[in-house]
Amino acid sequence: MTKRTIRVTGAAHSFSPVALPEQSAMSLHFLRGLMEVDENKQTATFYAGTYLHEVGPLLEQYGFALINMGDIHEQSLAGVISTGTHGTGVTLGSFSSMVTKWGFVNGEGEYIEHVRGNDDLSNALAVSVGLLGILVTVTIKVIPLYSLEYLSERKDLYEEIKSFSQTIRENRHVEWYYFPGSETIQVKKMNMVEPKRQPALSKKIDELQVQLLENNLFSVVSKLVKLKPTLAPSVSKLSSKLISEGKRVGLSYEIFPTPRTVKFVETEYAIPLEHFEACIEEVHDAFLRRQFDVHFPIECRTTAGEQGFLSPTQGNESAFIAFHMYKGMNEEPYFQWVHSVLERYGGRPHWGKVNRYNASNIDKFYPQAQKFNEIRKTHDPHNVFLTSYFKRIFE
Ligand SMILES: Cc1cc2nc3c(=O)[nH]c(=O)nc-3n(C[C@H](O)[C@H](O)[C@H](O)COP(=O)(O)OP(=O)(O)OC[C@H]3O[C@@H](n4cnc5c(N)ncnc54)[C@H](O)[C@@H]3O)c2cc1C
């Protein structure tokens, strides 16, 4: 028998090779849609290939919505669940934490439905990066339809560091954009309000503003910085001055995502929440010393802690700090430095973003990695899903 590996690709929105096929590639692009809503239990069952931008409007028909979302909506449900993709909100978990039942075909070709419980298979499935099988259906917890009031403000870095621990508890969602070397940051807050759609005109104006400032103008300055990296600090400071302040209200699925057309590479770490302030101060100091020429803002979010053998939060309330570099620029020295700093704060990389996981460090990041591997082997004894990237970690 020829040994061939299978890798399922969702929307191919990962920066790490987690979705990279070698011999056989599979897509669930034609296995999408809402199968069932249980209004009493407040759960919804989807085909796992459903894209996030389809989920909100489908749930709205039943008066429900996703508990949380990240900042884009291009990914597939299977993809975001498999990598522990998260949004922001210290009381809220990742997409993986929303799952109440997984339906998957394992490496032996068996279809298994598993209801979430406090058991090893649930902990392995929580963040499984396609290693246990092909997710076909997912049942997720949903909540009644809601809107978000979104507020964007320009703020002073040091003042916000002082009030960070309070701000994240007073608002359902808080997100920072730190502009390398600048003391002005963007603080975005979102809070739940009664369901109400964003008026079409206000939506158009917002979309235009994002397209012009955050995409078109940012694309032009990114090209300039790529040609002359020493421009990065000035561009970063200028960007912080151009932060668009304002308020808007709309259905949650209209407000969470922002179109992103400028290409970049990214690494992101979850660190225990209590280290956030010290970590961001250290990062700021490095930029004040002009250690790196980076103009791309650093994104800071929070999440609740959650179970899962491979969950980057490992049960701790966490701050997620994401570092980006414009595509085509040399991110290597910057990301190496990020890895060393963030790992000192107990950080664990997001599985879908640039990471350095391998067989010699995986047990340090994840004390139960071998337990995960045992369960993986029972569901995939012939390593059908173990591509080279994963062989370097789990073989
Ligand atoms: C512009 C941009 C913005 C992003 N924003 C965020 C954010 O806000 N928050 C965040 O946490 N992350 C974010 N990410 C990362 C992204 O959400 C994750 O990498 C996510 O996994 C991508 O989903 P996908 O559908 O593209 O999956 P892919 O990248 O295609 O696959 C991810 C993993 O899921 C597996 N997989 C896919 N389908 C199946 C299936 N049916 N069964 C089993 N395994 C499967 C793949 O094999 C792979 O291991 C962002 C990425 C980009 C490019």
Condensed to tens digits (0 to 9), the pLDDT of residues 114-146 reads 999 999 999 999 999 999 999 999 999 999 999
Does residue 207 surpass a pLDDT of 90?
A: no
* Angular region, 386: left φ>0, alpha ψ -120 to 50, beta rest: beta
Q: Which residues contact 199 (CB under 8 A, 6 or more apart)?
A: none
Tokens standing for 162?
Answer: 């002082």
Tokens standing for 324?
Answer: 């980006």
> Where is pLDDT greater, at 205 or 80?
80
Ligand 1 binding pocket mutation candidate from 50, 68, 85, 263 (most atoms within 8 A of CB)? 85
Query: What is the arithmetic mean of pLDDT over 332-360?
Result: 98
User: pLDDT tens-digit profile of 33-66?
Assistant: 999 999 999 999 999 999 999 999 999 999 999 9
Does residue 91 surpass a pLDDT of 90?
A: yes
- Model confidence, pTM: 0.96
Q: Which residues line ligand 1 (CB under 6 A)?
A: 7-14, 18-19, 28, 48, 70-72, 75-76, 78-80, 82-83, 85-86, 129-130, 134-135, 260, 350, 352
Confidence of residue 203 (pLDDT cuts 50, 70, 90): confident
State which ligand 1 atom lies nearest to the alpha carbon of 129: 49
Q: Whose CA is closest to atom 22 on ligand 1?
A: 13
Does residue 100 surpass a pLDDT of 80?
A: yes
Q: Whose CA is closest to atom 45 on ligand 1?
A: 130
> Where is pLDDT greater, at 215 or 32?
32
The whole-number pLDDT of residue 15 equals: 98
The whole-number pLDDT of residue 2 equals: 58
The whole-number pLDDT of residue 214 equals: 78
Does residue 86 surpass a pLDDT of 90?
A: yes
Contact status, residue 264 vs residue 325, Cβ threshold 8 Å: yes
Ligand 1 binding pocket mutation candidate from 9, 112, 132 (most atoms within 8 A of CB)? 9
Ligand 1 binding pocket mutation candidate from 8, 99, 255 (most atoms within 8 A of CB)? 8
List C-alpha distances in Å: 297 to 113, 168, 175, 273, 293: 41, 20, 12, 20, 12
Q: Whose CA is closest to atom 12 on ligand 1?
A: 85
Hey, what amino acid is at 283? V
The whole-number pLDDT of residue 210 equals: 81
Tokens standing for 330?
Answer: 């040399």
The alpha carbon of 352 and the centre of ligand 1 are apart by a number of angstroms equal to 6
The whole-number pLDDT of residue 294 equals: 96
The whole-number pLDDT of residue 212 equals: 81
The whole-number pLDDT of residue 213 equals: 76
The alpha carbon of 148 and the centre of ligand 1 are apart by a number of angstroms equal to 24
User: pLDDT tens-digit profile of 178-195?
Assistant: 999 999 999 999 999 999
Query: In terms of residues, how long is the chain?
Result: 395
User: pLDDT tens-digit profile of 259-289?
Assistant: 889 999 999 999 999 999 999 999 999 999 9
User: pLDDT tens-digit profile of 291-302?
Assistant: 899 999 999 999
pLDDT cut 70: percent of the chain above it: 99
Hey, what amino acid is at 393? I
Contact status, residue 313 vs residue 305, Cβ threshold 8 Å: yes
Q: Whose CA is closest to atom 11 on ligand 1?
A: 85
Eight-class DSSP state of 297: P
The whole-number pLDDT of residue 1 equals: 53
The alpha carbon of 32 and the centre of ligand 1 are apart by a number of angstroms equal to 16
The whole-number pLDDT of residue 202 equals: 86
Contact status, residue 25 vs residue 392, Cβ threshold 8 Å: no
The alpha carbon of 49 and the centre of ligand 1 are apart by a number of angstroms equal to 11
The whole-number pLDDT of residue 48 equals: 98
Facing residues of 212 across strands?
none
Query: What is the arithmetic mean of pLDDT over 13-22?
Result: 97
The alpha carbon of 114 and the centre of ligand 1 are apart by a number of angstroms equal to 22
State which ligand 1 atom lies nearest to the alpha carbon of 14: 19
Q: Whose CA is closest to atom 46 on ligand 1?
A: 19
The alpha carbon of 341 and the centre of ligand 1 are apart by a number of angstroms equal to 25
Ligand 1 binding pocket mutation candidate from 24, 31, 82 (most atoms within 8 A of CB)? 82
Distance, CA of 247 to chain centre: 24
How many whole angstroms separate alpha carbon 267 and alpha carbon 353? 5
Exposed (0-12), middle (13-18) or buried (19+): which is 48, by Cβ within 10 Å?
Answer: buried
Query: What is the arithmetic mean of pLDDT over 162-189?
Result: 98
Facing residues of 104 across strands?
112, 135
For the four alpha carbons of 273, 278, 279 and 283, in that order, the dihedral sign comes to: positive
